[in-house]
Structure 1
Amino acid sequence: MKKKPLQIALTLAAAAMLASACSGGNENAGASASSGSGKVTLTVSRWAGPHADDQKEMLKQFEKETGIAVKMDDVDYGQLQQKQTLNLSGKTGEYDLVWAQEIWIPEYVKAGYLLPIDEYVKDDSLNPKAFDFADYNPNLLKIVTSDGKLYGLPTFVQLPLMVYNKELLTADGLTAPKTWEETLAIAKYYHDKGTGIALPAKQGQAAVDVFASLIRSNGGDYLGTDGKLNLASPENVAAAQFWKDLNAVSMKGSSTWHFDEVTKAVQSGQAPIGITISGQVGGLEDENVSQVAGKIGYAPLPYAKQPYGTLSVWNWCVAADSKHPKEAYRLAAWLTSKETEKAMSLKDGQVAGRQSLFSDPELVAKFPFFPAIGESMKQADTQPLSANAPKLMDKLQTALSAVAVGQSDPKAALERAQRELADAFQ
């Protein structure tokens, strides 16, 4: 999923949309208010699509269990942040619960759009299925925590994975790679035979997400121990060199590929090995569209010292102006309960944030990629969520693209990015 920074201008057109949203003609207007019978109705905001459709069916069970009705305002992803910001900033009270991406959380909190939920988490009456903090990677909870207060519950996770054709590797006497060295050797073996590794090396966020995992797997990061930007550290340069070497033995066309093209190359049987995103690997097991269903193995991204994942995560957050905050939290707790998250996974392969689900026998039998996701999640973090993070991502996209196509030395590319970011990271 492509990430977008929070850059919303409340234009006249947006104001008109707000007026429309608040008018009596909007079917969602006043949805958070209790009906004349006293029954509470909540309105949730999330992106539209098959996942939302499945969730609508699940919500019927919540209403049956609690007597609380739920309306879903599901809109296209490209419009979701704008509509949420419009309503939350306007204090319309329309939304009770919003589905927010990790990169939106800091500014939502800063703007006062979200309600701290700590007191609700401690209220046993609102957690009939128990919210278990120990079942989550601490970095998932860090995303929704600000100044010691909790502002949401993690739910839908994505991160890059390595995939490979088990049948093909076995036939060639090869074993599944794990480390940088092993991955390079297998990629070179197939490159010499006319294919290679399929990579999301197009100038864009996919390559940067892969790079974040590589540097962290080598003990590096964007910032040094002093908290200052340190892109050209030895650990980071080594990761960039590995990225260059891997691209040299990649499939033809990889320099213009995103995760989508990698998935298609593996799916069609053209790529013996590749790096894609967890949200797409289910398609590799779909016999209706995949020529390699049942033949694919899954692993965390190649690592130098230990596996490390780059997280993107959606979170259920209670709107600060909700008329029914307790009920909204109760819904969030129900949606993120182990039982509900497992049911959603069984429906459509959703990857939830709960670590225990990645080893659930029923889920693993249906989704063989779950253990690899669980392994990646043990050590995983998001890209930086600071205000200057978009500038950092842009510079790294340029640097990694130049490295991938052999136009720049890895160390020189990172040093150039460091210099260009000097003013933003002082």
Structure 2
Amino acid sequence: MKTKKLRLALILASAALLSACGSNGNGADSSSSASPAASGGSGSSGSGGGKVTLTISRWAGPHADDQKEMLKQFEQETGITVKMDDVDYAQLQQKQTLNLSNKTGEYDLVWAQEIWIPEYIKNGYLLPIDDYVKDDSLNPKDFDFADYNPNLIKIVTADGKLYGLPTFIQLPIMVYNKDMLQAEGLTPPKTWDETLAVAKHFHDKGTGIALPAKQGQAAVDVFTSLVRSNGGDYYGTDGKLNLSGQANVEAARFWKDLNAVAMNGSATWHYDEVTKAVQSGQAPIGLTVSGQVGSLEDQANSSVAGKIGYAPLPYSKQPFGTLSVWNWCVAADSKHPKEAYELAAWLTSKETEKAMSLKDGQMPGRQSLFSDPELSAKYPFFPAVGEAMKQADTQPLSADAPKLMDGLATALSAIAVGNTDPQAALAQVQQDMASASGQ
């Protein structure tokens, strides 16, 4: 084993000898290091002259396992070793916060959900990456920053500074059985009125539309898209909560009307049950989430593979999507911030995103991939997701957002089962929020 002193001397003597140094054995997912690629990456030398090992934090599971295999390519191209700390989703934010708040320097790159980003930025956990984005030597050849969906970039931007690169998006979409619609002489719906007409047609025949109307976040995500598709929002131009605005009330009434022609049981369904109802051929039309629609095309387990059409959620004035997105962010206390950014850029490059999408259906943060012929052939729902992303935003990310989401979930459930007037339900949430804030 060579000492640090000897290693430094070797680096100064010849860069070629660096690639001959032994690999770092940290992390079961690391592969043997190779010489840095000639394409201009930062290579394996850190500021102290030693080998760079990056630690990334993300949730565990099949997607993480696939990513570990992909990371071997990055290691071979750059000579940088990557160690993945993948933990259960339920513990991820807590573990990230513990390390970032205590400035342990343990993590170089963290995978953060959009709802965590404001807190992470406010507390100084993340490093602005604007200067790195401008440094071509740190970016893959196919980087093209303009290809990131601008709605996603807005989520990781604060005070004019960029704090992450987006990937792995989710949003609700509409699915329909093309054969069942064609058999009834119906065309795929797009607007609120068209969707109500199709749902009523099938409801009169004993089925209807499958909805995630169970009290919870799925119903709120769908409703938020409906509100914004009607030109509404939860907050007025003065920044104050305004749930009783006309556009919001109209969306709530549409939600009530849609539930009136929903499949039996929808009032207790989440996305899982909606997807299963469509997959089994029971539901002619439904509202589910992009991360589940791949199962509809599973030839081995789906009775409707090849028969499903996809579209953004029903809209009043224009399609609108409610986004959830994961982002690669450089930790403010990273010992190797430049190399950490280089990894983030590689992970979200067009080539890597496409490879991960082909591997497991990951929804990328790059707009161009949703019209990629190879991806669209394998995943026919990609164009619809891309269309929904053109006008899209997250749920409100303000400090009182969790309480608002809970209140809306309760109200939408009551509206769905016909227990309350839509306008009165929204007014009650408004009142409860005001009382909670002492207004």
- TM-score with structure 1 setting the length: 0.91
* Residue range with higher mean Cα deviation, 109-118 or 297-306: 109-118
SS at match of 1:421: helix
Deviation at 1:134, TM superposition (A): 2.2
Among 382, 389, 402, the residue aligned to 2:414: 402
The match for 1:262 is 274
Deviation at 1:419, TM superposition (A): 1.1
Deviation at 1:35, TM superposition (A): 13
Deviation at 1:131, TM superposition (A): 3.7
The match for 1:389 is 401
Deviations 1:64-117 (A, max 9, x none): 111111111111111111111111112111111000000000001111111111
The match for 1:113 is 125
The match for 2:182 is 170
Runs of 4+ deviating beyond 6 Å: 31-37
The match for 2:10 is none
Q: Which amino acid aligns with 1:41?
A: T
Deviations 1:101-152 (A, max 9, x none): 0000000111111111111111111113354332233221111111111110
User: How many residues align structurally?
Assistant: 400
Do 1:399 and 1:417's aligned partners in 2 also have CA atoms closer than 8 Å? yes
Q: Which amino acid aligns with 1:333?
A: A
The match for 1:221 is 233
Do 1:244 and 1:404's aligned partners in 2 also have CA atoms closer than 8 Å? yes
Deviations 1:359-417 (A, max 9, x none): 00000000000000010000000000111111110110111111000000000101111
Do 2:142 and 2:351's aligned partners in 1 also have CA atoms closer than 8 Å? no
Q: Which runs of 5+ in 2 are unaligned?
A: 1-25, 31-43
SS at match of 2:302: coil
Deviations 1:313-333 (A, max 9, x none): 000000111110000000000
Q: Distance in 2 between matches of 1:98 and 1:272?
A: 41
* Residue range with higher mean Cα deviation, 373-382 or 70-79: 70-79
Task: Indicate the RMSD between aligned Cα atoms, in angstroms.
Answer: 2.0
SS at match of 2:104: coil
Among 314, 335, 342, the residue aligned to 1:302: 314
1:307-322 pair list within 5 angstroms: 307-322=319-334
Q: Distance in 2 between matches of 1:253 and 1:34?
A: 58
Q: Distance in 1 between matches of 2:431 and 2:208?
A: 34
Residue 378 in structure 1 maps to residue 390 in structure 2 = yes
Q: Which amino acid aligns with 1:372?
A: A
Q: Which amino acid aligns with 1:362?
A: E
Deviation at 1:36, TM superposition (A): 11
Q: Using a 3 Å threshold, how does the CA distance of structure 1 residues 86 and 364 change in structure 2: closer, same or farther?
A: same
The match for 1:64 is 76
Do 2:140 and 2:349's aligned partners in 1 also have CA atoms closer than 8 Å? no
Deviation at 1:215, TM superposition (A): 0.6
Q: Which amino acid aligns with 2:289?
A: I
Residue 287 in structure 1 maps to residue 287 in structure 2 = no
Q: Which amino acid aligns with 2:400?
A: N
Residue 125 in structure 1 maps to residue 125 in structure 2 = no
Rg bigger for which structure? 2
Q: Which amino acid aligns with 1:99?
A: W
Do 1:33 and 1:42's aligned partners in 2 also have CA atoms closer than 8 Å? no
Q: Which amino acid aligns with 1:358?
A: F
Deviation at 1:347, TM superposition (A): 0.4
The match for 1:185 is 197
* Residue range with higher mean Cα deviation, 64-73 or 225-234: 225-234
Do 1:124 and 1:130's aligned partners in 2 also have CA atoms closer than 8 Å? no
SS at match of 2:212: coil
Q: Distance in 2 between matches of 1:72 and 1:312?
A: 23
Deviation at 1:226, TM superposition (A): 2.4
Do 1:310 and 1:380's aligned partners in 2 also have CA atoms closer than 8 Å? yes
Q: Distance in 1 between matches of 2:140 and 2:253?
A: 51
Q: Which amino acid aligns with 2:418?
A: G
Q: Which runs of 5+ in 1 are unaligned?
A: 1-26
Deviation at 1:334, TM superposition (A): 0.4
Residue 143 in structure 1 maps to residue 155 in structure 2 = yes
Residue 134 in structure 1 maps to residue 146 in structure 2 = yes
Residue 341 in structure 1 maps to residue 318 in structure 2 = no
Q: Distance in 2 between matches of 1:126 and 1:222?
A: 40
Q: Which amino acid aligns with 1:110?
A: K
Do 2:200 and 2:208's aligned partners in 1 also have CA atoms closer than 8 Å? yes
- TM-score with structure 2 setting the length: 0.88
SS at match of 2:83: strand
Do 1:121 and 1:131's aligned partners in 2 also have CA atoms closer than 8 Å? no
The match for 1:10 is none
Do 1:200 and 1:259's aligned partners in 2 also have CA atoms closer than 8 Å? yes
The match for 1:100 is 112
Q: Distance in 2 between matches of 1:225 and 1:319?
A: 34
Q: Distance in 2 between matches of 1:310 and 1:97?
A: 26
Do 1:229 and 1:425's aligned partners in 2 also have CA atoms closer than 8 Å? no
Q: Distance in 2 between matches of 1:33 and 1:65?
A: 13
Q: Which amino acid aligns with 1:244?
A: K
